[in-house]
Amino acid sequence: MITKPDTQTAMRNLIADIRSAIPFDTPQEKLCNGPCTGCAKKLLDYLDMELEEKETSINAGQIPGLGELNRLKKSAVKIHAALIKNGLIRE
């Protein structure tokens, strides 16, 4: 029988998935080139800051709630969609 991960493990997995799906290492020249729906640089900075904050709190022993997981996922999905509109990510 497969067991569900605890929320700390789920948060670590979510953070890893987000880091692999979002191009945080995109050069500045590409971020501000072409159509712009929301500032890609600011969106990436915001999401990176959120991920670092979550990683720090988990490493400090805090246990995230399901609401925190859901909010982070929603933010990442919205930012991913904006990056697709800006042409930085292909579907």
Q: pLDDT class for 37, splitting at 50, 70, 90?
A: low
| 65 HSE (CA, 13 A, CB side) | 3
Interval 63-79: pLDDT, tens: 999 999 999 999 999 99
CB 8 within 8 A of CB 63: yes
Q: Where are the domains of the chain?
A: 38-91
Q: Tokens for 40, please give them.
A: 């890609």
Q: Tokens for 84, please give them.
A: 């697709």
Distances (CA, A) of 16 to 27, 49, 67: 21, 14, 18
pLDDT for 80 equals 93
